[in-house]
Amino acid sequence: MLDFRIFTFLEVCKQMNFTKAAKKLNITQPAVSQHIRWLEKEYGIKLFEMEGKKLSLTEEGDLFRNAAMTFQHDEMYLKHKIQEIKKGKRRIYFGATLTIGDFILPRAAAEFIKMHPDTEVSIRIANTEDLLNQLDQGEIDFAMVEGYFEKKEYDYRIYSRESYIAVCGRDYCFQKEPEVLEDLLSEPLITREAGSGTREIMEKSLDGRNLKIGDFKKNHEASSLHMIKKLVAEGCGITFLYEAAAGEELRDGILRKLELKDFPVVHDFTFVWRNHSIFSQDYLNIFNSLHKNDEYTI
């Protein structure tokens, strides 16, 4: 069982305030301080330091936090495994970002379910940030994400490499056919919401060219990729997305890929789990099973 003082430490890391952590844990602030001092003495390190009035982790504290989050995740996974043995039934919990869940994963997931009739599967669709948070809290076993993540905190395998492209509707009219990214700034842009992997890739691609979303003529947002594609097909603007997410519309001629000379963007879709987990081999076995059954993988 994970020492209760570890949970106190993790809550302080989340709140970065002893008093707020105490309220969340329903204990006193002196008790929080006592728990932190015990951990520091036990491990011979200093976990936190004050920079003015701001609490921050030390280098050793950050290492300890990373390990503690994996301990927490592994303990919850172990509890699930024990219950599975008792019930004679296995269940895996994982998450995927919207593009992966809607356009990359379905075939592989279907094959996995057919090949493992004794296993129940629970799949959550959310943005990268939310999935990583769920992974850290032990709510899911692993995640498949398209956004960026701290590689020092997670073990991972590249699931596929996908082209990220600009598209417009079949009959969309430009004053001049765009050749480079800046030629599109005079057009309305339709994007996913802030925090989504698709949006994050675009923002980073623009940033590398000293541009931002606000530089486009207009910016419409929608959390649904299907709606974005419909709006673009109806001539409401242009968008950037993964080619795999628009494969059907491109094949049917509903959408048109814009061939930009300065926008050859390829990004990894990644299978991630907590760093140094004692159950890493379990996750790798699932990764291999999904990977070999997916027509989109590298």
Q: What is the DSSP string of 45-113?
A: S--EEEETTEEEE-HHHHHHHHHHHHHHHHHHHHHHHHHHHHHT-EEEEEEE-HHIIIIISHHHHHHHH
Rama region for 214: left / alpha / beta (φ>0; ψ in -120 to 50; rest) = alpha
pTM of the model: 0.79
pLDDT score at 78: 86
Angle at 184 between CA 225 and CA 161, to 5 degrees: 50
| Integer-rounded Cα radius of gyration of the chain | 23
Torsion angles phi and psi, residue 99, rounded to 5: -60, -45
Strands 265-274, 154-169: pairing kind: antiparallel
CA distance 12 to 4: 13
Helix (H, G, I), strand (E, B) or coil at 120: strand
- How many CB atoms are located within 10 Å of the residue 173 CB? 8
Residue reference for tokens 């952590």? 21
- Give the model's pLDDT for residue 293: 64
Residue indicated by tokens 């992966």: 100
d(CA 42, CA 39): 5
pLDDT at residue 137, as a whole number: 87
- What pLDDT sits at residue 254? 97
Per-residue pLDDT of the chain (298 residues; tens, 9 = 90+): 678 898 899 999 989 999 999 999 999 999 999 999 999 999 999 999 988 888 999 999 999 998 898 988 888 888 888 887 777 788 999 999 999 999 999 999 999 999 989 899 999 999 888 999 999 988 999 999 998 888 989 999 999 999 999 999 999 999 899 999 999 999 999 999 887 888 888 999 999 889 999 999 999 999 899 999 999 999 999 999 999 999 999 999 999 999 999 998 999 999 999 999 999 999 999 999 998 766 555 4
